[in-house]
Structure 1
Amino acid sequence: MDEANWTSISEFVFSGVSDRQDLQPLIFAGLLATYLVNIVGNFMLLVLMWTNPQLRTPMYFLLSQLAIVDMGTVSVILPEALVHVLNKHRAISFTNCMVQLFIWLSMGNMGSYLLAAMAYDRYVAVCNPLRYATVVTQSLCLKMVAGSWVVVLLHALLDTVMVARLRYCGNHLQLFFCDLPPLLLLSCTRPITIELVIYTEGVLVMMTPFAFIVSSYIRIGLAVARLRSAEGLRKALVTCSSHLTVVILFYSTATSPYVYSDSSDTKENERVAAVFYTAVAPALNPLIYSLRNKDVAAALRRTGRKILAWGK
C-alpha cells in the first residue's frame, strides 16, 4: 500500500462487549459485579496471608503474587470497559492503548509463569514431601518470581514497541480493550516480520510455562499411580486439586482468542470469550482457593473471630 494511503492514528475506537443496546445495563452490572468480586476476593486473600503466620509459606507467597496479578489484570481493562458501556464514544488514545497492551501482556503472561512455579511446588510436595522444606524455600520462590517478571516485561516491551511502530489503515478495534490480534488486523500492510517475531517469540514465552506445568503433572500422575494406599491418593488429590482447577481455567480461557476465525459472524463470540479470560477467570481464582483449601478456610475463620472480638 502507498505511503499516501496510510492513516495517522491518534486514537482507537472499541467495539464494546456487545452491539446490542438493550443489553448494556445488564453488561454493566455483570462487569461491575465481576470486578468487585475480583478485587474484594483477592484483597481478602492477601490480607489473610499477611495476617496469618500459618499462611506464610512458599506456596502461599506464590498465591499472593497470583492475587496481585489478577487484580492488576482486571484493573487495567474493566474500569475503562465499564465507562465505555455507558458512553457511546468508546475511544482510547494511541498512547494509552499501548500502555494498556503492555500491562495486559505483562500481567497475562506473569499469571502463567506463577502457575508454573506453583506446579513445581506441588510436584515437590507430592513426589518429595520429606525434602519439601529444604527444596522449596522462600529464597527460591523470590528468584522464580523475579526471573519471571524480567522475562514477561521484556516480552511485553518488545511486542508493544513493534505494534506501536505499525502503520494503521483504521482505528476500530473489534474488542473492548487493546490486544495483539485485533491491532495486527488493522495494519495497512501485512507485517510479516513483526508477526513472525511476535508469534514465534510469543509462543516460546507462553508455551514454556505450559510445557513445564504439563511435565510436572505427568510426574505427579506417575507418582500417584505408584501409590498403594487410598489415603495417599486422597492427600495427593487434595494437594493438587485447587492448583489444577486454576490451571485448567486459565489456559482454557486464555487460548480462546486464537480459536475463532476472522469472519464477522464470530466477532460477538470472540468478545464474549474475552470477558471470560479477562474478567471471570481472575475473579474465580480466590473463590477456588478459599473454598477448596482448608488452610485458607481456617485462616478466614480465625480472622473473622478476631474481627468479632474487636467489635465487642
Structure 2
Amino acid sequence: MDNWTRVSEFILLGLSEQPQQQEVLCGLSCGLYLTGCLGNMLTLLAIVSDPHLHSPMYFFLCNLSLLDICFTSTTIPKMLLNHLSGHTTISFSACLAQMYFFIAFGAADSILLSAMAYDRYVAICCPLQYMTTMNVLRCALLVVVPWVLSNLISIVHTILMTHLSFCTNRIPHFFCELNALIKLSCSDTQVNKMLVLVFGSSVVLVPFVCIMASYTLIAVAVWKVPSTRGKGKAFSTCVSHLCVVFLFYGTIIGVYFKPTSLHTTQRDTAATVMYTMVAPMLNPFIYSLRNRDLKSALRKLLSENHFAKPL
C-alpha cells in the first residue's frame, strides 16, 4: 500500500494465533477486567460517598481508580467483542482513537502514581507540614498536570501516525498498540521511534525514579519508628505498593525501552497484559482494600442500611 489513506481497517490477531489458547486467554482477560472494574468502582464510590475520606490521599486514590477503569476499557472490551463476534477488524479511525486514549490514560496513570508516592512521602516524613504542603491547589495541580501532559503526548503520537504508510494491515496484538503500528509502517519512522523514547522517558522513567526516591526516604523514616509493630505494618504496606509499581513500570520498560533485537511478539504481548490488565486489577486491592478507613467506608456502602430507603 503506497498511501495510508488506502488502509481502511486493520486486523487484530489477538492474544494468540491458536484458537484454544485464545479462548482461555480471553476468558482470563474478561475475569481480570470485571474484577478490576468492580474493585475500582467500589473504591471510587466509597471515597465519594464518605465525607471522612475527602482528604488528599483518597483524592488521589479516587483519580487512580477512575484512570484504571478508563485505561482497561480502551482495549479489553473491543478485544472481547471481536472474539465473541468472530470479526477481528478495526477501522483505521477507530484504531487511532484507541491508540490515542490508551496512551493518554496510561501516561496519566503513570504520572499520577508518582504524585501519590510524593503524597505518602510528605505524610510520613513531614507530617506537621502535610496539610499545608498538600493544599487544595497543589492536589489539583498534581491531578490536572498528568491529564494535560498525557493528552498532549497522545496528540503528537496520533498526528504522526496519520502520516505513515503501511505495508500490511495485520496487527500481531490484541489492540492498536503504538510500537506494533510503527513496525507495520513502510515509511521512515525514525521520528516516531525517537519520540517514543523521549516521551516514554518523561512519563515512565522519570515517575519511576521519583517513586523509588520517595519510598527510599519513607523506608528511612519508618526504620526510625520505635514501635516494632508499627514498623512492620508500614514496611508491609510499602512492599505491597512497590510490588505493583515494579509490575507496572517493569513491564512497560520491557516493552518500550528494550533493544529491538530482544523483542518477540509473545513476550511483548505477555508484558502488555501485565500492565494493561493485571496491574489495574491489583491497584484497588493493594492501595485501597488494605486501608482500614476505606474498608469501613466500603462496608457502609454495601450494608443494607445504606441502601435502605425511608418509608
Return the TM-score normalized by structure 1: 0.89
SS of residue in 2 equivalent to 1:92: strand
Q: Counterpart in 2 of 1:134?
A: 132
Deviations 1:105-132 (A, max 9, x none): 0111111111111011110111111221
Q: Is 1:295 equivalent to 2:293 in the alignment?
A: yes
Q: Which runs of 5+ in 1 are unaligned?
A: none
Residue in structure 2 matched with residue 249 of structure 1 by the alignment? 247
* Aligned pairs (5 A) from 1:38-187: 38-187=36-185
**1: distance between equivalents of 2:262 and 2:151?**
33
Runs (5+) with no aligned partner, structure 2: none
Q: Does 269-278 or 57-66 show the bigger shift?
A: 269-278
Q: Is the 1:126–1:236 Cα contact (8 Å) retained in structure 2?
A: no
Q: Which runs of structure 2 are paired with 1:194-205 in the superposition (5 Å)? A: 194-205=192-203
TM-superposition CA deviations, 1:243-267 (whole Å, max 9, x none):
4343223213333424777689932
Q: Determine the C-alpha separation between the residues in 1 that align with 2:15 and 2:296.
A: 39
Q: How many Å apart are 1:88 and its aligned residue?
A: 3.9
Which residue is 1:280 aligned to?
278
Q: Give the match for residue 28 of structure 2.
A: 30
Answer with 35-44 or 242-251: which moved more. 242-251
User: d(CA) in 1 for partners of 2:81 and 2:92?
Assistant: 18
CA distance in 1, matches of 2:107, 2:164: 23
Please say if residues 74 and 278 of structure 1, whose CA atoms lie closer than 8 Å, have aligned partners that are also in contact. Answer: yes
Query: 1:44 aligns to what SS in structure 2?
Result: helix
Q: Is the 8 A contact 2:3 2:165 kept in 1?
A: no
Cα RMSD between the aligned structures? 2.7
**For the residues of structure 1 that align with 2:237 and 2:260, how far apart are their CA atoms?**
41
Distance 1:73 1:57 in 2: 24
Output the CA distance in 2 between the equivalents of 1:113 and 1:259.
Answer: 18
Partner of 1:267: 265
For residues 251 and 264 of structure 1, the distance between their equivalents in structure 2, rounded to whole angstroms, comes to 18
Q: Percent identity?
A: 37
- More moved, 273-282 vs 89-98: 273-282
The residue identity in structure 2 corresponding to 1:113 is I
Relative to structure 1, is the Cα distance of residues 130 and 242 closer, same or farther in structure 2, using a 3 angstrom cutoff?
farther
TM-score (norm 2): 0.89
**Structure 1 residues 138 and 60, CA gap change in structure 2 (3 angstroms):** same
> Judging changes above 3 Å, is the alpha-carbon distance between structure 1 residues 5 and 145 closer, same or farther for their aligned structure 2 residues?
closer
Question: Would the alpha carbon gap of residues 173 and 307 (structure 1) be closer, same or farther in structure 2, given more than 3 Å must change?
Answer: farther
1:221 to 204, 219, 222: 219
Preserved contact between residue 118 and residue 243 of structure 1 (Cα < 8 Å): no
Q: Deviations over 1:16-72 (max 9, x none)?
A: 111111233323322222221122111111110011122111111101101011100
Q: How does 1:10-25 map to 2 (within 5 A)?
A: 10-25=8-23
Q: Distance in 1 between matches of 2:24 and 2:309?
A: 37
d(CA) in 2 for partners of 1:111, 1:25: 29
Displacement, 1:177? 0.5
- Give the SS at the match of 1:255: helix
SS in 2 for 1:166: coil
Query: Which range moved further: 243-252 or 33-42?
Result: 243-252
Question: How much has 1:238 moved relative to structure 2?
Answer: 5.7
Worse-superposed segment, 103-112 or 25-34: 25-34
- Partners of 2:108 and 2:223 lie apart in 1 by 31
Give yes or no for contact 2:252–2:271 (8 Å, CA) kept in 1: no
The whole-number CA distance in structure 2 between the counterparts of 1:223 and 1:265 is 40
Measure how far apart 1:159 and its partner are.
1.1
